[in-house]
A and B are shown apart, each in its own frame.
Chain A
C-alpha cells in the first residue's frame, strides 16, 4: 500500500483578468521511508503542489491521501520546511523549536526533551536561550529543521531549503538532513531546481515541465547512490552520467517555455 497518494490533481488560480492552470493531471505514489525530489524550472507549480499536499490549499480537482486518509485530516502528520528558516525573531531558539507542539497543545516534558535532544544532534547545543538573529544562516536552517521534526511528522516536505545558503553550508546540511531523515525513517519530498542536489539526496526524481505543471518524467536512482551520503553521491561514478541524462531532459523542456 502506498503511503502518500496523489490522484489527478489539477489546480487553477483565478485573477480578475486570467485563469492560470498551475498544475495539470498530477498523479503519483510515494512509499513510506522514500525520499523523492520534485525537480523543475521555476514556475512549474512545485510550491503549489506542496501546499496542496500539506492541506493548505484545496486543489481544483483531484485527491491527496496520506495513509488512506484525506490530508485535511492528516495534516498533523506533515511537516513543511520553507525556503528560508522563518524563525520567529522575537522568540528564543527554544521557543521556536517548541512552537509546533505548543500550537497543537501537545507540549509536555517528554516531547520537550525530544526537541532539545534533536537540537543537540544537529550540533546546536547551548543556543536554546539565544535569539535567531544571533545565529548564522546554516544554524538557523538547522533550527528550522528541528522545529519541523519536533512534532514528529511522518511526511516531511522541504521547499528549496538550501537555496539561500552558501555552497559549503549547503553541502554539509544536505548530509545532515539526509542522515537525520534516514535514521528516523521519514518520508520526504524535496523541491529543488538544483539537479545535483536532487540526484545526491533522493531515491526518485520527478521532473516537472511548466505551464501547466505536469510530471514530465520520473528517474529512479541506482541503489549505490541511494545508500551513499549526498556528499559521497556527488563523487560517485554514476553521478555524472545521471546528471547528463537529467540535464538533457531539462533542456528538452526549454523550447516549450519560449515566449
Chain B
C-alpha cells in the first residue's frame, strides 16, 4: 500500500468521523425538543401539572391556527417586530454616536463619567411610566423603551473599545498627518467593529425586554399585550403562544445579526 492512498483514506475517515459527530449532535438536539414538548403535553393531559396554568402544546397549536386564520396574530406580531427593530437600531446607533462623541472629547468623557455610571446602574424599565406620560401611550414610547434600555450600555462598551485601539495604529496615521476625524474613520471605528457587532447581539435581547415591558404598560397591541391580556383573563394558552412566538422571532433576529457579522468582518480569515 503506498503512503498516498493511506493519507487519502485517513482524510476520508476523518471527514466521516466529523459527519458522524454532527449527526449525533443534531439527533440529541431533536430528542431534547421532542422530549420537552411531548413531556409538556403528557404532563398536562395526565394533570401532573395544572393545565389551566401551563396549558399544553396541542392547545397552543390550536390557538395558533385560529389566530393565524383570523389574522390577529400577524397584527400583534408586526407591531412588536417593528417596535423591536426600531428600538434596537435606535439604541445601537445612538449609543455608538454617543461613544464617538466621548472619544472625540476626552474632557467631556471625564465630565460625563459619573452620570454614565448612574444611568447604567438605573433599571431602565423603571422609566416606563414616565416615558408613557411624556410621549403618550403609543408606538413612540414603546420604541423609546426598546432604545433606552440598550443605549447606555452600548455607549459604555463601544467607548471602551474605542479607547483600547492600539495607539500604534493612531501613530501610523499621525505620521501621515491624519486629522482626528480621519483617525476615527480609518482606525478607531473599523478596529471596533467586532465589539460593535457583539453589542448588537446583546442589544437584540435587550430591545425585546424593553418592548415587551413597554407593551405591558401601554397594553393596547402587540405580543407583550397578548401576555398581559392572557394573564388578566387567565388564558395561559394565549400567554404560552405569545412566548413561543417571541422566542422564535428573537432567535431569527439574533441569527440575522450573526449573518451581518460574517458580512462585515473580513480580514482574509
Q: Which residues of A contact B (CB under 8 A)?
A: 54, 56, 75-76, 78-80, 82, 84, 86, 88-90, 99-100, 103-104, 130-134, 151
Contact = CB atoms under 8 A, between A and B. Distances in A.
Contact of A133 (B173, B177, B182, B268): B268
Given A82-B171, A82-B172, A131 B268 contact: yes
Nearest to B187: A88
Contacts of B186: 88, 99, 103
A79 B268 contact: no
| Interface class of chain B by DSSP | helix
Contacts of B190: 88, 90
Nearest to B173: A103
Interface string B165-182: 010110111111110001
B267 interface: yes
Contacts of A131: 266-269
B176 A104 contact: yes
A90 B267 contact: yes
A76 B177 contact: yes
Given A88-B190, A99-B186, A103-B173, A133 B168 contact: no
A103 B177 contact: yes
A74 B81 CA distance: 56
Contacts of B177: 75-76, 103-104
A132 B177 CA distance: 23
Given A86-B168, A99-B173, A103-B186, 9 more contacts: A54-B175, A75-B175, A86-B172, A88-B190, A99-B172, A104-B176, A131-B269, A134-B268, A151-B176
A80 B171 CA distance: 9
A131 B266 CA distance: 9
A197 to B, nearest CB: 21
A56 B174 contact: yes
B179 to A, nearest CB: 8
Nearest to B169: A86
12 contacts: A79-B175, A80-B175, A82-B168, A82-B171, A88-B186, A90-B193, A90-B265, A99-B176, A103-B176, A103-B178, A131-B268, A133-B269
A84 B265 CA distance: 23
Contacts of A75: 175, 177
A159 B70 CA distance: 73
B176 to A, nearest CB: 4
A90 B166 CA distance: 14
A132 B173 CA distance: 17
Contacts of A79: 175
Which residue, of A76, A84, A103, has the highest number of chain B Cβ atoms within 10 A? A103
Contacts of A104: 176-177
Contact of B168 (A84, A90, A103, A130): A84
Interface in B145-201: 166, 168-169, 171-178, 182, 186-187, 190-191, 193
Contacts of B169: 86, 88
B24 to A, nearest CB: 34
A75 B176 CA distance: 8
B267 A103 contact: no
When A and B form their complex, which 5 residue pairs have the shortest distance between CB atoms, in order from nearest? A131-B268, A80-B175, A103-B176, A100-B176, A89-B267
A105 to B, nearest CB: 10
A133 B267 CA distance: 7
Contacts of B166: 86
Interface string B249-269: 000000000000000011111
A180 B190 CA distance: 32
A82 B176 CA distance: 13
Nearest to B264: A90
A100 B265 CA distance: 23
A259 to B, nearest CB: 28
B173 A90 contact: no
Contacts of B174: 56
Contacts of A99: 172-173, 176, 186
B98 to A, nearest CB: 23
Contacts of B172: 80, 82, 86, 99
Interface string B20-55: 000000000000000000000000000000000000
Contacts of A56: 171, 174-175
Contacts of A134: 268
A80 B178 CA distance: 14
B268 A130 contact: yes
B180 to A, nearest CB: 12
Nearest to A87: B172
A90 B171 CA distance: 17
